[in-house]
Structure 1
Amino acid sequence: MLENLKKEVTKIAKKADIEGLCKHKSGNFSIRDKETGYIVVTPSGVAREDLTYNDICVVDMNANVIEINNSVKPTSELLMHIYAYKTRPDVYAVVHTHSRFATSFAVLNKEIPPIIYEAVYYGGIIPVAPYGRPGTKALAENIIEPLKKSDACLMQSHGVITVGSDIKDAYLKANYVEEVAEVYYRTLSMNGGKEPPILPMTELKKWQYPSYIKLK
C-alpha cells in the first residue's frame, strides 16, 4: 500500500542522516496521502542504514495502524505528525530533525529571527514550541500555535519540525532552518552576543522575480 510514498519517505530519511540533519535513529518523517488521507511514517528505533521502504508504516489520522511490515512500530512521535496535519490541512509532509545549530537554539528556548532572505521560504521567523516530553500528547499539542505562524518551529530542548506541500518541500525548509540557525549563531558570536539586524516581514514579502529578465 502506498509503495511510492514509502520509498519517498525512506529516501529523505536516509538523506537527512547523510547530510547530518539527524543521525542514527533520531528524527522522523511522514507524508499524508492526498487520496486516502493515510499517513506513511518512519518506524521507531530503526537505524537509517538499515531502513528500507518495507519498514515504513501506514496509519490513519486517528493513530490507527493500517499496515505494518517487518514487525516494526510507527515512530513514538506519531501524534506530533497527526496534530501537524490536523492544524494545517494544506500540509502533506512533516520533517522532524535534530540538526545541531537549530537544536542549540531550541535548548535555549530562543526563536530564530529572519536575518537573511532564505527565511522567507518557511515564513520568516522560527518560533519555539514549549517543552513536551517526546512521544506525549503535550509535545503534539505544543506545536499547534507555532505552526499557525510558520512552516518551521523549534521544540524546546528537542529539535526542529518543518511542514510542506510535499516531502521535498518540507525537507528543503529543514535545510534552510539549519542554514539560517548557523548564520545566526556565527553572527551572534562575531558580534559579541548582540542581536544582528532583522529583515522585517514587509521586506521579505516584497521579493519577486526580476522583471528585467526577459523570458520567452
Structure 2
Amino acid sequence: MLYCEQIEEIVEVCRRSGELGFGAASGGNVSYRVAENVILITPTGIIKRNIVFDDICIVNMEGQVLYAKEGRKPTGEMFMHLYCLKARPDVTGIMHAHPPYAIGMSLTAEGQNAMILPLLPESMTQLGPVFTIPYVQPNGEELGYSFEPYIQKSNAFIMANHGCLVCSTSGVLDTVESVQVLESLAKSLLANRIMGGDIRTLTNEEMEGLDNLLLIRGEHMPGGKKQFTGMKDIFDKA
C-alpha cells in the first residue's frame, strides 16, 4: 500500500495527542497532504489514541473518498482541513485538537487578546500570533470558511469554545509539538494571571533577534509564504 510511512505517522500523532490530553474521546482530527491531490485523514467516531493503520481514510482535495475501510468514513470536519490546505499550499500537516488551557483562553476577550501578543520565542517563531476565530458550529462548511481572514497570518488558531488547529509545512509529526507549544503559551498566561502584574511583551529589538534566529536556522516566518517581513510585522498586523 502507498503512503505506509505517512499513515504510521498519523497513527503515532493520534496516540501522542490522546496521551497528552489534547482530545477527549473521539475529539479532534488529523490530515496529511502526501501528494498534490491525495490527503490522508482520520476517521470520524474513533477514539484518537485507539486509531490504527487501517482506520485512516484517503480523500482528494474535493473531498471524494479514495479509500476507506468498511465501517469507516472521514472526519465530519474534513471540509475545514481541505479549505486550509487549499488556502495554504505550503502546509502538508494539520491537527485539530482540544487542549483545555488554550480553549480556555478563547472564553474571554482578555485571553483572546493575550494570545496574539509577542510573548515567548518558541511560540512566536513556530506558531505566530494565535488568533481566536469566532464560534462556528462544528462539522459544517461554515467552519472551514471561518478561517479565511486568518489562515495566512499564523500557523495556529483557536476556534472559540471549541478547539485549536495547527498547521505544519513538514508533515504531521510536528503538529503535536505545535499543540504543546500552544498549550504551554496558554499555561504561561494563566500563571501570569494568578501571580498578577503586567504582561511583559518582547521589544522590537528582541523581535529582530528572532528574525536573525530564523535566518540562521533556514526557517520561514509563520503564516503564508512571503506574507510578512519579520516578527514585528507579523505581530503589528495581528
TM-score strictly above 0.5: yes
In structure 2, the gaps of 5 or more residues are 214-238
What does 1:47-196 align with in structure 2 at a 5 Å threshold? 47-108=47-108, 110-111=112-113, 112=115, 113-165=117-169, 166-191=171-196, 195-196=198-199
- Alpha-carbon distance between aligned partners in 1 of 2:198 and 2:103, rounded to the nearest angstrom: 19
Deviations 1:62-88 (A, max 9, x none): 111110014111001001100110111
Letter in structure 2 aligned against 1:145: P
Please name the residue that 2:28 is paired with: 27
Deviation at 1:200, TM superposition (A): 4.9
Contact 1:21 1:100 in 2 (8 A): yes
Letter in structure 1 aligned against 2:136: G
- Alpha-carbon distance between aligned partners in 2 of 1:195 and 1:88, rounded to the nearest angstrom: 36
Please name the residue that 1:197 is paired with: 200
Deviation at 1:195, TM superposition (A): 4.8
Structure 1 stretch displaced more, 165-174 or 80-89: 165-174
Contact 2:95 2:165 in 1 (8 A): yes
- Alpha-carbon distance between aligned partners in 2 of 1:7 and 1:159, rounded to the nearest angstrom: 24
In the superposition, relative to structure 1, how do residues 149 and 162 fare at CA in structure 2: closer, same or farther (>3 Å)? same
Alignment RMSD (CA, Å): 1.8
User: What secondary structure, in the 3-state scheme, does the structure 2 residue paired with 1:22 have?
Assistant: coil
Q: Percent identity?
A: 24
In the superposition, relative to structure 1, how do residues 135 and 201 fare at CA in structure 2: closer, same or farther (>3 Å)? farther
- Alpha-carbon distance between aligned partners in 2 of 1:203 and 1:72, rounded to the nearest angstrom: 49
Deviations 1:87-107 (A, max 9, x none): 111000001110010011123
In the comparison of the two structures, how many residue pairs are matched?
Answer: 206
- Alpha-carbon distance between aligned partners in 2 of 1:63 and 1:182, rounded to the nearest angstrom: 36
TM-score, normalised to structure 2, is 0.81
- Alpha-carbon distance between aligned partners in 2 of 1:171 and 1:183, rounded to the nearest angstrom: 18
- Alpha-carbon distance between aligned partners in 2 of 1:18 and 1:58, rounded to the nearest angstrom: 25
TM-score, normalised to structure 1, is 0.88
Contact 2:14 2:49 in 1 (8 A): no
Please name the residue that 1:214 is paired with: none
Deviations 1:92-134 (A, max 9, x none): 0001110010011123351402322122233431111121100
Structure 1 stretch displaced more, 151-160 or 40-49: 40-49
